[in-house]
A = this chain, B = another copy of it.
Amino acid sequence: MADRPRRIPEATVARLPVYLRSLLQLAGEKTGTISSERLAEMAGVNAAKVRKDLSYLGSYGTRGVGYDVEYLLFQMSRELGLTQDWPVVIVGIGNMGQALANYPGFTSRGFPIAALVDADASKVGHEVHGKRVRHIDELPDIAAEQHIAIGIIATPAHAAQDVADRLLAAGVTSILNFAPAVINVPATASLRKVDLAVELQILSFYQQQRDNEGDGAAAPAPSADAAG
């Protein structure tokens, strides 16, 4: 607390992982320093925003030189909590839950999948990608034993709020929701969502608009020259 008096705006927090990714790439290329302009380009934002965002971390760069990549990477990782692991429980082991359980990107990024949980007794006890599915009633024990930091909800829509409530009751206050449902959590918890249907429908909205406006130029069936 002594170390963090300032409040970082939400929009800035959401960009930190994007900067982090650029910095990891730069570090991999042995780049020593980076200008705000170049970092902005990599992250897909403007340079003034980069400078403002980094100032929240206490990083101001050096005029004509830029930012030290290694140090910025250290600051960013520390700020995002990536100097430790955050064990994850996946709740709901249907198609989506199984796909997520099999995705190695969680563990490799410091979010190991510690437990799989389902309400369906017929699924409990089965192994999914090397992990035994446990019953959702065990959630409080699992959360405590496995030091669960993040709950991933991959249930059908109708079960999502109940699962969120159970996660919160078990002390899990960070939730990533894949269920196609609006979930409410108290202000003392964090909720992020990934909604494939919403993303696809936003795309179909604009695609339809282009199809109508362009009179078929960008229609689902591409024209011969566009495809060539």
A222 near B103 with CB under 8 A, answer: no
B203 near A14 with CB under 8 A, answer: no
Known: A182-B43, A203-B176, A222-B171. A196 touches B197 (CB 8 A): no
B212 near A79 with CB under 8 A, answer: no
**Residue interface bits A184-228, CB-to-B below 8 A is 1, else 0:** 100010101011111111111111111011000010111110111
**Bound complex: CA A106 to CA B148 (Å):** 30
A61 an interface residue at 8 Å Cβ cutoff? no
Task: Pick the contact of A95: B18, B104, B222 (CB < 8 A).
Answer: B104
**Which residues of the partner chain B approach A86 to less than 8 Å between Cβ atoms?**
200, 203-204, 207, 220
A interface residues, tally (CB under 8 Å):
84
Task: Tell me, rounded to whole Å, the shortest Cβ–Cβ distance linking A130 to chain B.
Answer: 14
**Which residues of the partner chain B approach A44 to less than 8 Å between Cβ atoms?**
182, 184
A92 an interface residue at 8 Å Cβ cutoff? no
**Which residues of the partner chain B approach A174 to less than 8 Å between Cβ atoms?**
203-204, 206-207
**Bound complex: CA A84 to CA B207 (Å):** 12
* Stretch touching chain B among A47-55, A64-72, A118-126, A139-147: A139-147
**Bound complex: CA A181 to CA B43 (Å):** 9
**Which residues of the partner chain B approach A148 to less than 8 Å between Cβ atoms?**
220, 222
A82 an interface residue at 8 Å Cβ cutoff? yes
Counting from the closest, the 10 A-B pairs by CB-CB distance are: A171-B222, A99-B99, A81-B208, A81-B204, A171-B226, A17-B201, A17-B198, A174-B203, A190-B206, A140-B227
Report which A residues bind B (CB closer than 8 A): 1, 3-4, 13-14, 16-18, 20-22, 42-44, 79-82, 86-87, 95-96, 99-100, 102-106, 109-111, 140-141, 143-144, 147-150, 157, 169-176, 180-182, 184, 188, 190, 192, 194-210, 212-213, 218, 220-224, 226-228
